[in-house]
Structure 1
Amino acid sequence: MQRRVTGLTAAVTALGMAALLAGCGGSGGSDEVTLKLVAADYGDSAANTSKKYWGELVEKFEAEHPDIKVDVDVLPWTDVDRKVKEMVAADEAPDLAQIGAYADYAAQDKLYSADDVLSIPTQADFLAPLAKAGLVQRVQYGMPFAASTRLLFYNEKLFKSAGITPPENWNELQAAAKKLKARGVKYPYALPLGKEEAQAETYQWMLSGGGGYTDNVGSYDIDSKQNVQTFTWLKDELVGKGLTGPTPPGKLNRAEAFAAFARGEVGMLNGHPTLMKMAAKKDLKYGMVPMPGVNGKTQATMGVADWMMAFKQNGHRKEIGTFLDFVYSKENVLAFSREYDLLPVTTSASQDMAADKKDAKRLGGFLEELPTSQLYPVGKTSWAQVSVQIKEYIGKTVDPNGDPQAILSQIETKAAAEEAAQ
């Protein structure tokens, strides 16, 4: 497929060159184009706000491409998805949006595909699991922008005092949690199944038990035999034995669990790179290992990606492509990943990061997990609502009177209904 053709056919007619330029997105006969990008802020202070990253990147880009200007609006994660949704509803879609989900816009035929805007080398450089997660009906609309995986974090001081080593399977995890509990550790294993991000902890445990959200052909399979067995084990062997701390898992949010770990109150929990900074600020010594599986190392860990998407409304396909090829250069992908302790979404940048001793020391374990990671089924337009159901009900599976089979089947039924309604 030929990339970035303008879509104009025939020769210039009596309308004249000025009209042709106007049709290509220029104004007043000028051939200068301004792209509008709405992006999420990954910073946690004014010092590392994403406004700084985008400002420096755009300055370099515009110096090389004086005919293309880029106007970037950086918003907090609490606002950015809503803002883009409102803009699209008002027929004022940006040219580009860097947010959390793309499938709804793809289903409404509002997006360029990756084929439409990216050069072949740029598109081919995306890591395979991330590119696959960006597909809708086998066409890539979601372009991965940032990624992370999960590892099991453990408190080195607590493990040493309890005389235990990092677990490699569920039985060892339970045995370690029992020893931590015996020494008075508040949360031997922190199990955050609260509404903030329950879908993440849920998915990691499903994968470690050989299951997942979907089956091999991509259909929801939430109440699979493996998933039921996983949550039955959690209910009976961890929560039921008092190994997950004083807060019921259904009421424990990720942010609270991470903060407790940084305070030294958690023996072990699943975490992503952000937790490293939190622990370092508290001078907490910690280790990281792959998440244990039911009988050994988990075959696949959970991956998470945020997405870039290109809207068709303003017709700036060529200019969008030129800008995105610049955004996804190895240099720029590495700069963003290093600034925010995230994983590169391209093969070239990942290889460079893995070869760098400083990067490998911090993020090597996460990088190793990414090529075999499994992402949420974000290509399904139903996923947003299914995720809501998981956040609402999954914590009940491990309550004292919880019924994992019944609750997982309830979520599965609603998921199937949502999928059928699309």
Structure 2
Amino acid sequence: MEEKEREWKRARTARSEYASDVEDVQAWLRAAELTARDRTLAPEPYRERLVATRAEVPNVADRVERLTRNARAIVEGSRDAGERQLVQSTVSALSEQFAAVCSELEARQAAVEDACDAVARFLTLLEKVLLWVETQRAFLARPLPLADLQEAQQKQTEYGNALKSCKQQAKNLADMAKEIEAIERVTSPGDLPSRLEAAENATVDVEKRLAKTNGLLQELAEEWERCERKLKDAGHWLEATSRTLETPQNAKKPLRDRLALREKLINDISTQKTKISYAVEKLNVHFGPDGVAAQSRGPEGVEAAARALGGSLDALAQQTGAQAVALAAALAQVEAYCADVARLRAQLLQAEQQLRHAAQPNYSPREPERAQQTQQECRERVKSLQSKIQARNERVKLLVQRGSPDAEPLRDA
């Protein structure tokens, strides 16, 4: 009798433990499945939750083992075939579900570990990008004192190199986006997308500023180089022109050609000065309030060279102008002398005709003395005219050689 009572108590205890264990295991399985399929947590808290859930597995496994033992006892002591089948199917289903959930939890934890590694890689790349942004912003904030062309070219090279470094940051941002994609395949990336967007915006802003300054520096360097080249060309032109004016070959040219040359040079000097002024003006635009070199005092070396060159051109213009005035006056005298020579030649021709006429035998045969006197007057007239013609021809040669007018021109007595 006592033995039956003990068996009954054991059977009641087994049923009670079985029902409690089934309920608890099913509740844990439901919670574990929700944990395994959660996509709302960031990788690190999700890993902590998975670790905590997997830490409960040994205890749940013990419960599954106990309910399996109790189920066996229930099946052995039950005479109800339906109950036996229900208990066996419940135990089998719970065992399979428990094994499946444990496998899923293990796989999810491995995936979350990869996601945490992806977060670590993302943060490393983010740190590099933000450090680059900070460095370039400090670089952009530096003043740009540009004293000469070489310094402008050096700064342009520095900005060009900084601009090239943007490519690496673009690659880092692309890699960060890939890491977020890898995380999203497992769980929520949290605030990483917004941090990526902020990094992208900062990088784009810095890249735009670098590109703008680099472009302006490149324009400045090119403008500066053009300006110095124009100054150099103008200097060479000035030297070559000065040498040309001083050559003996130039002094041998006709007065009209020499005058035309100087008139042309006066226009050319004005053109050279305009070119220099325009080149310096275009360069100074970059040093204005809105220019890339606004913090500099200006291209002082270029301006000093332009002033010196302008002074030399003014001196040459003054010299050339004076020569042109002298040549024009000399040319006017030459033309006047040539006109005199033409007039005197006509008079000489007339005097020679008169001399030949007076030398004829039939000229005043009754007054031979008068004929002799007329011939003598004609000879003196011819000689005087020849002398005047020769004097003017000599003066013309002298004027052409000297290139300046006579202070006291020849005049008929």
- Tell me if TM exceeds 0.5: no
Q: Which structure's relative contact order is higher, taking Cα pairs within 8 Å and 6+ residues apart?
A: 1
Give the TM-score normalised by structure 2.
0.18
Larger Rg: 2
Give the TM-score normalised by structure 1.
0.18
Higher helix share: 2
Higher strand share: 1
